[in-house]
């Protein structure tokens, strides 16, 4: 084993597969050839040197550079050993092979130089379970594979972790939150055989499970709340996030999960949910900078969709073939653009493009307005020609009786106008009876007039002389309301206070005249009757006006009424349309739409792009799947995205199930069975447990692509339940822990750092889904952005929502997220980094948003426990989910007392505050521990 | 060992060994370079030993965001002035793409006077009188060209070698490769002045697929220079030490219980955070400088300006910080209101002229110029054709075919003008330098061979210079 580790330094130190003896092409030889030879002697015919291919047995045999069974006689080996710069391979400037690597190649040739197809492109074969010496350790088949490998290396697995560690591990891995001390106690006390499984099943049905695992998927979907690039304006895409959470919670089978996201729009009669799901590929960037070429950025988004699909489903770096044939994997440049062609037909073009209406709370009212607008259109066509030659004639009406709701006084002036004085309430109604002479009434005019008795000269009684008339109504002699046109006309309306608002149904909006701008001068408003009335004799008509605005009086001070037998010669249709449209816009503000994929009716022709440059199209290509990997027979041509999606999750596809279960493994153990979760190609790592990987992949498909079932299988395995503590023998024999003789301690994801703090402090608001929120962030975040972003810090419950709902601006994410390795979501991310930096320390130690939670944890402990020692213990358990050791408790007590003393000195006379600060200091220490942000 | 290991828990543990000088790291580091470097380890970096002797240790990138006009500053074109208002030669316009210019754009002469300066006789415009005085210390490249003509993508390209966000910035590559010599400050620091931040924001100093440890850390000129540097109210002073000691003590207990040496890295990170709480404010306190120095830059204590930032840049490299990016925004002189080649350009020039020159002079006086490479550039240049905005021709559009930048110090030949353009400044006629060549040259001066310095990501060997050809401009290096 030490021999192979020696090789490992240059091949794959992490590649535990090389820990067994013998030479295998896939395991030992191909990585060396791929690293040093294939770039010039591989599948890329454009860059091939000396017309020699070393990746195919046929070519090698034809060229005669290898004599199977005789390394000494093989040209290849001679070249490797040569010191002559003209002859040696690889050429001097390209680096050299280690002696160990040369030995591997020689041994392989001596053993017959057998080639194998790259392991990941071979069909998945569900292997038989290995026999192990100690079946009792094994809980399920996973363990047999793991135990066998350990056994072969003379190693034993680790003991099961302490139950307190186990339950915390399960909570963090499955839902990303902490168990409460009560939940921990219940588990510790449950001595039934399936106590552990009970917790697992509870967590798998928790709605937070969808958040936790949805978040992992959103990394791959490169979900963000802004457009990226230059301006990085906000966008609405959270309905897609909702969809993901729901789908994961419902355990939507992964094949269906794939099809709806890649091609939900192409399903027959797609549902709203299926359309929303296609947002997966609408998470691409949009460049809103002035002077951009929309086509350029459309092509960028198609490239991104192609590459993302390759990485997420196939773990293939298809993007390598954008400019030239792939140097290592069977993807030609033509193959690349054939994949590209699947995504090249959508209607979006560096813009929001097609959308689905996710929510429309006023749908019926909007539909009604649409009907009115349609009717108006017909009316407009059929209306009579307006006779502009006959102007209206106005007759001033005589007021005979006036009263107000507040008993204000009315004085009739010489011009028949009324001047109001006395009570001036915040809400007011005037009712005035006017005497109209015999004749026709088709319209009324209200003149609002200034007067020296009014504030600033009126015409209103507000302190600036303004008024807000929220409603106007006219009644005939029998008290029947005369129907008015829904639009009125005025010589002037203040912005946002159009006169038509006085004849709508809304008693909060109305007509006003902005005296600051126009001065305290006279204005008029005209109200039109739908049907003119004919008065047979002198008749009393009633005018009713209401006034209201905020918390100050806005009543009218002086006014006069006139009537006209002829309607004013105005075209009301545009006014009515404007009115309806304004109403519609107001209602439409409540609509939530999400971007979706939609196919163009006339497909674009896809060209191979020379060197990936969209300005250099070459021959045209048709959509086609990667037939080299997995054949797909379908009669109808041409293929579309739906075919691609179905091909990806077709039963025989060797990559998709392996790739998906491997990513699950990576989340539960920190490292995938194939370490390069994003690259299963020739250049990627080889699996540590190939049989286990295949068994899981097959099991996944057999179980109807149920992610939950595989999760359950993994977390109930003995392998998963092992302690993560270091062990000297493992440290020596398998320092990277690829054989899984123990669990790994893993620092939690960026979002989970804060979620754990929310959860420990009891502040978490567990609402699922919805628009993104704005928890506090440190000052100065936007000092470095081109546009200052809108960050209305949430004050209510939204302040304490899970961090996956924090609004994500691609150009300036919340600093806590970037400090803890959250991706920026410009491109897909299948695996996050896990760094450990001083900026993280500053973040957890000092961030005001987190400090708030330190305080909340302290307050919670104080309110839930009485005595000091119990409070310390409780706080410890809330944060770390275990009991402190006696040494830890003693240390904390000493620390608490010391801090109390120091705070008392700092704040003399404020004992209670000092005491509280000291306990907050303890909470702050606990939340800053490595253990707090680590899944053990 | 592939880069992925570095992401794993155990790799960070190895890093710890290396940082502690235990030496285990030696086995881990060599394969980052696909070349045949010896397996020795450098102090902290991932580039192994240098590929060749370095001429620079640090880099200061003075980024004039928006794209300054080379034709008003460094590229004197009498012929363009002569043909002012004339049609642009057809063969030039055809096939070209611009952000805003129409096909009928006319040539626009420059009204600025140029002067031959110093012994080198370098021509520099009247807009930059302080530059005129240090002409012999600068190396001008007149034949720069780039690939993308929108601000965001072009800035990302200039910084990361790729127009889409997602790749590591030059500063991340360099600190990843060479490590930092400063224990109390981040190795890659970003400063900003001007009316707004640069377009594309954090993508310009992102560590991309490299560990986030290597991302640029923005230092703000007011308030906390680093986000969350200050302890919560009431927890300052000696309580700060108490907090760190308590966290360390309990972390040590957990280390004992679990044996996970990643906890040691965490303890070390907290210790450095503690030190940064005093070293970062110290750094920002330019009141410690002499009045003479402040005057030289035009810096003001308590102010926020390009001048202050230039002074801070010197203080940063003095403390061993590896890479400093300094953005000054508002160079986008299209000709509209606030964007004219008249008073608006004059304003930008007056904001950066004195301090840029002072930085060079000051570095030289302190013996730091030899080891510090200073680069002054925009994301692209501006067109020889005039752009019409508000019915007036008062500006120029983005131009990617030919523009000028200057470099100084760090092994760059002083008093040199490299490359040339035609009489109208429409195209490069001699020694073209692409952004990739610039990147190759910067890495070269730091002792790194750009072709050998790669990191494996998603199956590709990623390099700052990408897959297209890139050449080191040896002619400008000493």
CATH code linked to domain A394-570: 2.60.120
**Is 50 exceeded by the pLDDT of residue B10?**
no
Q: Which residue has the higher pLDDT, B270 or B208?
A: B270
At B298-336, the pLDDT tens digits run 999 988 899 999 999 999 999 999 999 999 999 999 998
Residue A385 has a pLDDT of 59
* Mean pLDDT computed over every residue of chain B: 86
A465 near A457, Cβ under 8 Å? Answer: yes
**Is 60 exceeded by the pLDDT of residue A389?**
no
> DSSP secondary-structure letter at A536?
S
At A785-818, the pLDDT tens digits run 666 778 889 999 999 999 999 999 998 889 999 8
Residues of chain A with CATH 2.60.120: 394-570
Residue B331 has a pLDDT of 95
Residue A561 CB contacts under 8 Å (≥ 6 apart), including other chains: A396, A397, A399, A432, A434, A444, A445, A446, A447, A543
A559 near A480, Cβ under 8 Å? Answer: no
A509 near A515, Cβ under 8 Å? Answer: no
What average pLDDT does the segment A287-294 reach? 87
- For an interface test with B, the pick among A36, A686, A838 (most B C-beta atoms closer than 10 Å) comes out as A838
CA atoms in the 13 A half-sphere facing the CB of A491: 9
Cis peptide before A459 (omega within 30 of 0): yes
**Is 50 exceeded by the pLDDT of residue A523?**
yes
Tokens of B69: 């006009």
Q: Which residue has the higher pLDDT, A318 or A843?
A: A843
CA atoms in the 13 A half-sphere facing the CB of B65: 29
Burial class (CB in 10 A: 0-12, 13-18, 19+), A351: middle
Number of C-beta neighbours around residue A581 at 10 A = 13
Q: Where are the beta strands (DSSP E) in A236-387?
A: 355-359
Burial class (CB in 10 A: 0-12, 13-18, 19+), A306: buried
Burial class (CB in 10 A: 0-12, 13-18, 19+), B291: exposed
Give the model's confidence band at A40: pLDDT under 50 very low, under 70 low, under 90 confident, else very high. confident
Cα gap A280→A597, rounded to integer Å:
9
What average pLDDT does the segment B439-461 reach? 88
Cβ contact, residue pair B212, A837, below 8 Å:
yes
Cα gap B212→A424, rounded to integer Å:
65
Q: Which residue matches tokens 């979002």?
A: A751
Give the model's confidence band at B109: pLDDT under 50 very low, under 70 low, under 90 confident, else very high. very high
What average pLDDT does the segment A686-694 reach? 94
What average pLDDT does the segment A236-262 reach? 98
Nearest chain B Cα to A293, which residue? B99
Tokens of B135: 């002409």
Give the model's confidence band at B63: pLDDT under 50 very low, under 70 low, under 90 confident, else very high. very high
Please report residues of A whose CB lies closer than 8 A to that of B63. Answer: none
Cα gap A497→A509, rounded to integer Å:
7
What average pLDDT does the segment A741-748 reach? 96
Give the model's confidence band at B16: pLDDT under 50 very low, under 70 low, under 90 confident, else very high. very low
Vertex A38: Cα angle to A34 and A39 (nearest 5) = 115
When computed from its CA atoms, the radius of gyration of chain A, rounded to whole angstroms, is 38
What average pLDDT does the segment A654-668 reach? 97
Give the model's confidence band at B48: pLDDT under 50 very low, under 70 low, under 90 confident, else very high. low
Residue A384 has a pLDDT of 61
Residue A167 has a pLDDT of 98
Tell me the residues of chain A between 858 and 897 that have a Cβ less than 8 Å away from chain B: 885, 887-888, 891, 895
Cβ contact, residue pair B269, A836, below 8 Å:
yes
3-state secondary structure of A807: coil
What average pLDDT does the segment A532-549 reach? 93
When computed from its CA atoms, the radius of gyration of chain B, rounded to whole angstroms, is 23
**Is 60 exceeded by the pLDDT of residue B26?**
no
How far away is chain B from the Cα of A229, in angstroms, using its nearest Cα? Answer: 5
**Is 50 exceeded by the pLDDT of residue A434?**
yes
Cα gap B357→A228, rounded to integer Å:
35
Tokens of A447: 């003149």
Residue A30 has a pLDDT of 83
DSSP character string of A477-531: TTSPBPPBPS--EES--BTTB-GGGGSSS-TT--B---HHHH-S--EEEEEEEEE
Cα gap B264→B271, rounded to integer Å:
11
Cα gap A235→A224, rounded to integer Å:
8
Tell me the residues of chain A between 819 and 858 that have a Cβ less than 8 Å away from chain B: 819-821, 824, 826-827, 831, 833-843, 845-848, 851
3-state secondary structure of B200: coil
B458 vs A328, A678, A820: nearest CB = A678
**Is 50 exceeded by the pLDDT of residue B25?**
no
Give the model's confidence band at A660: pLDDT under 50 very low, under 70 low, under 90 confident, else very high. very high
A837 vs B2, B242, B269: nearest CB = B269
Residue A468 has a pLDDT of 96
B200 vs A291, A670, A811: nearest CB = A811
Biggest distance spanned by C-alpha atoms of chain A: 127
A280 near A261, Cβ under 8 Å? Answer: yes
Residue A787 has a pLDDT of 67
At B227-251, the pLDDT tens digits run 899 999 889 888 999 999 999 999 9
Cα gap A542→A400, rounded to integer Å:
10
DSSP character string of B413-445: PTTEEE-EE-TTSSSEEES-EEHHHHHHHHHHH
What average pLDDT does the segment A96-114 reach? 86
Q: How many helices (H) and strands (E) does chain A have?
A: 32, 17
Pseudo-torsion of CA A64, A66, A70, A71, nearest 10°?
Answer: 140
Residue A736 has a pLDDT of 86
Q: Which residue has the higher pLDDT, A28 or A482?
A: A482
At B353-391, the pLDDT tens digits run 999 999 999 999 999 999 999 999 999 999 999 988 877
Q: Which residue matches tokens 């062990």?
A: A727
A793 near A801, Cβ under 8 Å? Answer: no
How far away is chain B from the Cα of A798, in angstroms, using its nearest Cα? Answer: 22
Residue A393 has a pLDDT of 83
What average pLDDT does the segment B91-100 reach? 76
**Is 90 exceeded by the pLDDT of residue A88?**
no
Residue A551 has a pLDDT of 87
Least confident of A175-184, A487-496, A809-818, B84-93: B84-93
What average pLDDT does the segment A307-311 reach? 95
Residue B284 CB contacts under 8 Å (≥ 6 apart), including other chains: B219, B221, B225, B312
Cis peptide before A638 (omega within 30 of 0): yes
**Is 50 exceeded by the pLDDT of residue B1?**
no
**Is 80 exceeded by the pLDDT of residue A17?**
no
Cα gap A23→A660, rounded to integer Å:
29
The verdict on B256 touching A (C-beta cutoff 8 Å) is no
**Is 90 exceeded by the pLDDT of residue A64?**
no
Phi-psi region of A357 (alpha: psi -120 to 50; beta: other; left: phi over 0): beta
The verdict on B10 touching A (C-beta cutoff 8 Å) is yes
B324 near B59, Cβ under 8 Å? Answer: yes
Tokens of A105: 């190649």
Q: Model ipTM? A: 0.78
Residue B79 has a pLDDT of 94
* Mean pLDDT computed over every residue of chain A: 90
Nearest chain B Cα to A829, which residue? B209
Give the model's confidence band at A518: pLDDT under 50 very low, under 70 low, under 90 confident, else very high. confident
The verdict on B253 touching A (C-beta cutoff 8 Å) is yes
A725 vs B1, B234, B259: nearest CB = B259
Residue B457 has a pLDDT of 74
């Amino acid at each position: 084993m030490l021999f192979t580790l020696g090789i490992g330094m240059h091949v794959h130190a992490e590649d535990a597969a090389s820990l067994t003896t013998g030479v295998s092409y896939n395991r030992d030889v191909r990585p060396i050839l791929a690293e040093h030879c294939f770039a010039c002697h591989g599948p890329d015919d454009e860059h091939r040197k000396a017309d020699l291919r070393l990746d195919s047995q046929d070519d090698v045999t034809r060229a005669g550079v290898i004599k199977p069974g005789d390394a000494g006689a093989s040209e290849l080996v001679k070249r490797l050993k040569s010191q002559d710069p003209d002859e040696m391979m690889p050429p001097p400037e390209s680096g050299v092979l280690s002696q160990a690597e040369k030995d591997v190649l020689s041994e392989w040739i001596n053993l017959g130089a057998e080639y194998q197809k790259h392991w990941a492109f071979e069909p998945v074969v569900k292997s038989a379970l290995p026999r192990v010496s100690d079946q009792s350790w094994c809980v399920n088949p996973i363990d047999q594979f793991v135990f066998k490998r350990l056994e072969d290396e003379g190693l034993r697995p680790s003991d099961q972790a302490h139950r307190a560690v186990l339950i915390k591990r399960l909570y963090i891995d499955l839902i990303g939150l902490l168990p409460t001390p009560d939940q921990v106690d219940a588990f510790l006390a449950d001595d039934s055989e399936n106590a552990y499984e009970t917790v697992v099943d509870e967590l798998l049905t928790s709605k937070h499970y969808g958040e936790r695992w949805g978040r992992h998927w959103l990394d791959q979907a490169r979900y963000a709340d802004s457009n990226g690039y230059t301006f990085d304006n906000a966008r609405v895409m959270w309905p897609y996030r909702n969809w993901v959470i729901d789908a994961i919670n419902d355990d939507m089978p992964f094949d269906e999960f794939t099809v709806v996201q890649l091609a939900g729009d192409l399903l027959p009669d797609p549902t709203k949910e299926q359309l929303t799901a296609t947002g997966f590929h609408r998470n691409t960037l949009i460049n809103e900078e002035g002077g951009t070429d929309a086509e350029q950025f459309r092509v960028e988004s198609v490239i991104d969709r192609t590459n993302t699909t390759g990485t997420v489903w196939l773990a293939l770096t298809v993007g390598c073939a954008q400019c030239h044939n792939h140097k290592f994997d069977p993807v030609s440049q033509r193959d690349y653009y054939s994949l590209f062609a699947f995504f090249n037909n959508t209607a979006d073009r560096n813009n929001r493009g097609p959308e689905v209406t996710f929510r429309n709370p006023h749908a019926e009212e909007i539909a009604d307005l649409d009907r009115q607008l349609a009717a108006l259109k017909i009316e407009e066509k059929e209306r009579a020609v307006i006779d502009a030659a006959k102007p209206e004639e106005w007759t001033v009406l005589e007021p005979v009786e006036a009263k107000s709701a507040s008993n204000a006084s009315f004085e009739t002036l010489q011009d028949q106008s009324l001047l109001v004085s006395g009570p001036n309430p915040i809400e007011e109604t005037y009712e005035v009876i006017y005497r109209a002479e015999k004749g026709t009434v088709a319209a009324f005019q209200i003149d609002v007039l200034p007067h020296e008795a009014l504030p600033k000269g009126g015409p209103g009684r507000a302190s600036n002389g303004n008024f807000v008339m929220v409603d106007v109504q006219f009644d005939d002699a029998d008290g029947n309301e005369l129907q008015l046109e829904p639009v009125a006309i005025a010589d002037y309306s203040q912005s946002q206070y159009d006169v038509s608002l006085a004849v709508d149904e809304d008693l909060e909006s109305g007509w006003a005249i902005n005296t600051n701008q126009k001065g305290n001068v006279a204005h008029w408003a005209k109200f039109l009757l739908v049907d003119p009335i004919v008065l047979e004799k002198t008749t009393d008509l009633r005018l009713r006006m209401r006034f209201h605005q905020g918390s100050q009086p806005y009543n009218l001070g002086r006014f006069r009424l006139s009537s006209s037998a002829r309607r004013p010669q105005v075209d009301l249709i545009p006014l009515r349309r404007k009115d309806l449209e304004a109403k519609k816009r107001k209602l439409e503000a409540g609509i939530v739409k999400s971007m979706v994929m939609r196919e163009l009716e006339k497909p674009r022709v896809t060209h191979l792009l020379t060197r990936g440059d969209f300005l250099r199209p070459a021959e045209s290509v048709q959509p086609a799947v990667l037939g080299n990997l997995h054949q797909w027979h379908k009669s109808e041509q041409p293929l579309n995205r739906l075919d691609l999606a179905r091909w990806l999750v077709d039963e025989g596809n060797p990559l998709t199930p392996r790739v998906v279960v491997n990513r699950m493994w990576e989340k539960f153990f920190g490292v995938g069975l194939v370490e390069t979760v994003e690259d299963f190609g020739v250049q990627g790592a080889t699996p540590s447990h190939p049989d286990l990987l295949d068994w899981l992949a097959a099991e996944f498909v057999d179980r109807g692509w149920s992610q939950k079932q595989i999760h359950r299988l993994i977390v109930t395995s003995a392998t998963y339940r092992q302690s993560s503590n270091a062990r000297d023998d493992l440290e020596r024999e398998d320092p990277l822990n690829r054989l899984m003789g123990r669990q790994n301690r893993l620092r939690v994801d960026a979002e989970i750092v804060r979620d754990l703090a929310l959860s420990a402090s009891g502040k978490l608001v567990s609402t699922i889904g919805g628009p993104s929120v704005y928890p506090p962030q440190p000052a100065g975040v936007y000092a470095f952005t081109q546009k200052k972003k809108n960050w209305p810090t949430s004050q209510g419950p939204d302040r304490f929502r899970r961090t996956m709902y924090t609004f994500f601006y691609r150009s300036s994410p919340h600093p806590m997220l970037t400090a803890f390795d959250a991706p920026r979501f410009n491109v897909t991310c299948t695996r996050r980094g896990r760094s450990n930096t001083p900026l993280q320390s500053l973040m957890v130690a000092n961030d005001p948003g987190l400090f708030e939670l330190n305080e909340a944890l302290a307050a919670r402990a104080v309110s839930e426990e009485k005595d000091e020692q119990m409070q310390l213990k409780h706080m410890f358990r809330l944060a770390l989910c275990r009991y402190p050791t006696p040494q830890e408790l003693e240390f904390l007590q000493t620390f608490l007392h010391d801090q109390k003393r120091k705070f008392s000195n700092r704040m003399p006379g404020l004992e209670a505050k000092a005491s509280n600060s000291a306990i907050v200091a303890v909470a702050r220490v606990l939340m800053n521990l490595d253990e707090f942000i680590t899944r053990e | 060992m592939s880069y992925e290991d570095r992401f794993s828990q155990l790799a960070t543990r190895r890093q710890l060994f290396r940082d502690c000088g235990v030496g285990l790291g030696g086995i881990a580091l060599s394969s980052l370079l696909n070349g045949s470097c010896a397996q020795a380890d450098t102090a902290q970096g991932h580039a192994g030993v240098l590929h060749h002797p370095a001429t620079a240790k640090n880099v200061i990138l003075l980024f004039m965001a928006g794209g300054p006009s080379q034709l008003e500053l460094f590229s004197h074109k009498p012929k363009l002035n002569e043909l002012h208002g004339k049609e642009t030669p057809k063969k030039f316009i055809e096939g070209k793409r611009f952000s805003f210019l129409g096909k009928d754009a006319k040539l626009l002469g420059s009204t600025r006077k140029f002067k031959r300066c110093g012994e080198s006789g370098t021509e520099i415009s009247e807009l930059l009188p302080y530059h005129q005085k240090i002409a012999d210390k600068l190396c001008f490249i007149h034949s720069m060209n780039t690939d993308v003509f929108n601000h965001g993508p072009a800035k990302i390209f200039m910084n990361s070698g790729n127009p889409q966000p997602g790749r590591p910035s030059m500063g991340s590559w360099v600190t990843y490769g060479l490590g930092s010599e400063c224990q109390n400050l981040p190795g890659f620091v970003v400063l900003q002045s001007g009316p707004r931040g640069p377009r594309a924001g954090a993508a310009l100093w992102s560590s991309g697929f490299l560990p986030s440890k290597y991302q640029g850390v923005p230092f703000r000129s007011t308030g906390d220079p680093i986000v969350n540097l200050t302890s919560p109210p009431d927890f300052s002073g000696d309580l700060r030490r108490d907090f760190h000691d308590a966290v360390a003590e309990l972390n040590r207990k957990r280390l004992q219980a679990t044996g996970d040496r990643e906890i040691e890295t965490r303890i070390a990170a907290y210790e450095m955070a503690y030190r940064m709480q005093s070293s970062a404010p110290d750094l920002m306190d330019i009141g410690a400088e002499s009045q003479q120095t402040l005057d030289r830059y035009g810096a003001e204590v308590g102010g926020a300006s390009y001048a202050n930032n230039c002074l801070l840049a010197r203080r940063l490299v003095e403390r061993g910080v590896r890479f400093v990016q300094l953005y000054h925004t508002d160079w986008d002189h299209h000709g509209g209101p606030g964007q004219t080649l008249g008073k608006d350009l004059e304003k930008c020039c007056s904001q950066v002229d004195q301090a840029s020159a002072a930085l060079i002079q000051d570095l030289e006086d302190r013996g730091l110029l030899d080891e510090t490479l200073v680069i002054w550039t925009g994301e692209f240049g501006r067109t020889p054709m005039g752009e019409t905005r508000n019915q007036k021709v008062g500006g120029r559009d983005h131009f990617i075919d030919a523009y000028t930048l200057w470099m100084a110090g760090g092994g760059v030949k002083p008093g040199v003008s490299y490359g040339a353009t035609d009489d109208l400044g429409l195209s490069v006629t001699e020694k073209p330098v692409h952004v990739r060549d610039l990147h190759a040259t910067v890495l070269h001066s730091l002792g790194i061979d750009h072709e050998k310095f790669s990191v494996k990501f998603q199956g590709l060997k990623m390099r700052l210079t990408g897959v297209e050809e890139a050449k080191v401009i040896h002619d400008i290096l000493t």
